[in-house]
Amino acid sequence: MLGVVGYLVTAAGIRLPGDIDYSGTSFASIASGWEGTTQVPVAGALQVFAFVGFLELAVMKDITGGEFPGDFRNDALDFGWDSFDEETKLQKRAVELNQGRAAMMGLLALMVHDKLGNVSDFFPN
């Protein structure tokens, strides 16, 4: 869902103030949508890639002895999960899986409309 929100915010023209690098490339000069991915400086793209790699390898490790595959709680955040019965847990996991699928479809639909050139139709004048 954050991907869709971020896409719509940048498509609406909202940008961070300042420059993205020391050579003077401003955030506002980078296009929104898929076109903007090629305009991000290489050093910035490598920083994002390295940070996501760090998260995958060091932070989001699959814990042996987790309750189910993909259980990344690390005993840090619970929000009452352990108080639910097994049926409720299965239902909540299914809901979360479906919401993730819907978010991916929404982001892919925005990418298709970006390539079609009609993203501006989403915003009223």
Domain boundary assignment for the chain: 2-122
**Token pair in block for residue 54:** 């760090």
Q: What is the pLDDT of residue 47?
A: 94
Q: Which residue has the tokens 């949508």?
A: 33
The pTM of this model reads: 0.64
Residue by residue, pLDDT tens for the chain (125 residues) are 788 888 888 878 899 999 998 998 899 999 887 888 889 999 999 999 999 999 888 877 766 666 777 676 666 667 788 888 999 999 998 998 999 899 889 888 888 888 888 777 766 65
Q: What is the spatial distance between Cα 57 and Cα 38, in angstroms, rounded to a whole number?
A: 26
8-state DSSP, 62: P
Q: Which ranges constitute the DSSP H helices of the chain?
A: 2-11, 42-54, 86-116
